[in-house]
Amino acid sequence: MILFVDQTGALGGAELSLLDLSSEFRAESRVLLFKDGPFRERLEEAGVEVSVCDSSMDSVRRSAGIFSAGVALGALVNPVREVLRLSEASGVVYPNTQKAAFVSFLAAALSGRSTVWHLRDIITSPHFSSFNRRLIVYMANSYCVHVIANSQATLDAFREAGGRCNASVVYNGLKEEKFEAGREESSVWRARLGLPDATTVGIFGRLAEWKGQLQFVEALAECDGLRGLIVGEALFDGDDAYAEQVKNRVSELGVEDRVSFLGFRDDVPQVMAACDAIVHASTDPEPFGRVIVEAMLSRRPIVATRGGGATELVGEHNERGILVDGGDVAQLRDAMKMVSERSETRDRIVADGLEFARGNCSLEETVRKVRDILEVYGDITEIENEILASS
Ligand code: UDP
């Protein structure tokens, strides 16, 4: 039995990855969330057992220092207790986010449960205070039996920060059949979705400063006639102000008629299919970058910013996508112009991207690798019905 643990009820990339993974393990797992939200609903729809233990851990930021850590201690009691209770039936506790990992490591310190951490963040990035970094790495070295890193870049950062426990790289897996819409022309999907028929580039993901929607809008303003779709919404604390800033910038630049904010969409494959190219504009290294693989499976060319998992997925510049430097609006503009026009290079990038995504990022393969790792640490097929029934 596996107890997956995640800190949020929102649908970020980490949660969508866990949704796919836990659905494949649904007969032998359950998920514990520290916050309710649409993620719980999606898990339930997929037939995954879910428990929610609301906690005030949300108030503690990853970039925070020792004072906030003190405040957080009180908020930890309920989640730790819940992990201990639910993991009585589990061979393995499997935290999927930072705060979930911290709680799970504390539970492991008290109970000795095998804890496998799915690490989906580059922990040396500016998003983590040095205190938080040292604390989580110390806890992992002490109480984690295995780290599953979502890219080599994520694993390298963990090692650089002093992480010593066993670790493997397992790329996120996606189901290719979800992206069948991309076989059809973009104009067909624009008509179906009621979008204006013009050459279109899209940026997909939550609105957050480091995700680069602002740079996307500025680059788009310099590409005459090109339409832009901004797909996603602010999901986490503090990101609403940024979302407002992006909207204001669209007005200041006078490109309201060329930019559409579609909000959070459940039909990403269809919206990607309506685009002629996809942009990933993160200004800091992306740990993995699901949207890059999604663009490849949708048969659309990807422009991505260098660094982290994005470089691993795209390869060299012009190999399976166009690489630009994070934050460089002029490079982004030129790349957007290049990929929105048909050319041999564009077609080759799309073909090679599709082949790479199929060969390296299939859900089936990800599940197999995760299963192999978990089976080393516990009997994940064993279910203690008594515990499940009492929860
Ligand atoms: N996404 C979505 N609806 C939206 C915008 C984004 O379902 O409106 C999905 C997107 O398809 C991708 C995920 O959110 O699967 C974002 O994952 P990524 O790894 O790119 O970024 P993260 O959120 O992990 O930083």
Q: Among residues 213, 355, 344, which one has the least CA distance to residue 282?
A: 213
Q: What is the CA(12)–ligand 1 centre distance, in A? A: 6
Q: Which pLDDT tens digit goes with each residue over 360-375?
A: 999 999 999 999 999 9
- Segment 233-242 mean pLDDT: 91
Q: Which pLDDT tens digit goes with each residue over 295-349?
A: 999 999 999 999 999 999 999 999 999 999 999 999 999 999 999 898 999 999 9
Count of residues in the chain = 391
Query: Which residue's alpha carbon is nearest to atom 23 within ligand 1?
Result: 13
Which pLDDT score is estimated for 59? 56
Model pTM score: 0.93
- Backbone φ and ψ of 305, nearest 5°: -90, 140
- Residue 290 Cβ < 6 Å to ligand 1: yes
- Residue 15 Cβ < 6 Å to ligand 1: no
Q: What is the CA(13)–ligand 1 centre distance, in A? A: 5
Instruction: Please name the residues in contact with 372: beta carbons below 8 A apart, sequence gap of 6 or more.
Output: none
Q: What is the CA(385)–ligand 1 centre distance, in A? A: 35
Lowest mean pLDDT among 53-62, 240-249, 287-296: 53-62
Q: Among residues 233, 220, 192, 185, which one has the least CA distance to residue 342?
A: 185
- Residue 158 Cβ < 6 Å to ligand 1: no
- Residue 161 Cβ < 6 Å to ligand 1: no
Instruction: Please name the residues in contact with 13: beta carbons below 8 A apart, sequence gap of 6 or more.
Output: 120, 172, 205, 288, 290, 291
Contact 101, 136 (CB under 8 A): yes
User: DSSP strand E in the chain: where?
Assistant: 2-6, 29-33, 50-52, 92-95, 114-119, 146-149, 167-169, 200-204, 227-231, 259-263, 277-280, 302-305, 322-324
- Residue 280 Cβ < 6 Å to ligand 1: no
